[in-house]
């Protein structure tokens, strides 16, 4: 089989459009960025010129423990591609931790332009098997975490006269599923 390039040619109109979405000089926080779509957001934003705080406490699928590996791997990938990134393992579910995440951006990059509230956890159980702790954990990350990050980010954004907050949900968040 002939050697085929894995690079897809970019339509000139698409290339012009991508220029409009450059993030050169922007400081971005992406929560839940160690894996999944958060990882993709962090890498894509860095590729567009943003400096990125890759936030992820690295908990297991069951929600226990912590591991710096997922966030650091994304940081290493961004840096290897020539971008700027730092890892942060704080939890969005705690107010003091949300403040530390924002402080990480301003300390590392001197500003804060975008927060992508992407962090999420899964406790996929039918309602009669869902414990109070499971319920509180999901609300803590998804709802309280989004509020904490937004509340922590707004003062820096107001002070500089600019900022964007992107809230992410899943199809399940909009339409539900079994469990």
**Higher-confidence residue: 117 or 1?**
117
What pLDDT score does 1 carry?
A: 37
Closest CA to 91 of 148, 157, 150, 166: 148
Which residues have C-beta within 8 Å of that of residue 24, sequence separation ≥ 6? Answer: 48, 49, 50
* Cα 9 to the center of its chain, rounded Å: 28
pLDDT digits (tens, 9 = 90+) for 42-90: 999 999 999 999 999 987 666 667 767 889 999 999 999 999 999 999 9
**Higher-confidence residue: 167 or 61?**
167
What pLDDT score does 20 carry?
A: 67
- Dist CA 36 CA 74 (whole Å): 11
Least confident of 2-6, 17-21, 24-28: 2-6
Spell out the SS3 assignment of 38-76.
Answer: HHHHHHHHHHCCCEEEEECCCCCCCCCCCCCHHHHHHHH
Which residues have C-beta within 8 Å of that of residue 122, sequence separation ≥ 6? Answer: 61, 138
Mean pLDDT of 138-156: 94
Cβ neighbours of 97 (radius 10 Å): 19
pLDDT digits (tens, 9 = 90+) for 7-20: 445 566 655 655 66
> What is the pLDDT confidence band of residue 5, given thresholds at 50, 70 and 90?
very low
What pLDDT score does 62 carry?
A: 62
What pLDDT score does 45 carry?
A: 95
- Dist CA 152 CA 13 (whole Å): 38
Q: Where does residue 123 fall: left (phi above 0), alpha (psi -120 to 50 degrees), or beta otherwise?
A: beta
For the cut 50, the answer to whether the pLDDT of residue 119 exceeds it is yes
């Amino acid at each position: 089989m002939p050697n085929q390039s894995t690079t897809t040619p970019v339509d000139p109109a698409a290339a012009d459009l991508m220029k409009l979405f450059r993030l050169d000089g922007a400081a971005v926080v992406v929560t839940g960025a160690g894996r999944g779509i958060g990882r993709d957001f962090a890498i894509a934003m860095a590729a567009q010129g943003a400096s990125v705080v890759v936030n992820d406490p690295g908990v297991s699928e069951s929600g226990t423990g912590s591991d710096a590996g997922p966030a650091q791997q994304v940081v290493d990938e961004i840096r290897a591609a020539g971008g700027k990134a730092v890892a942060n393992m704080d939890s969005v579910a705690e107010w003091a931790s949300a403040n530390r995440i924002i402080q990480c951006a301003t300390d590392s990059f001197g500003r804060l332009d975008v927060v992508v509230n992407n962090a999420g956890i899964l406790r996929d159980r039918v309602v009669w098997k869902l414990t109070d702790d499971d319920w509180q954990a999901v609300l803590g990350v998804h709802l309280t975490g989004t509020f904490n990050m937004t509340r922590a980010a707004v003062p820096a954004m107001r002070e500089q006269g600019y900022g964007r907050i992107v809230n992410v949900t899943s199809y399940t968040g909009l339409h539900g599923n079994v469990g």
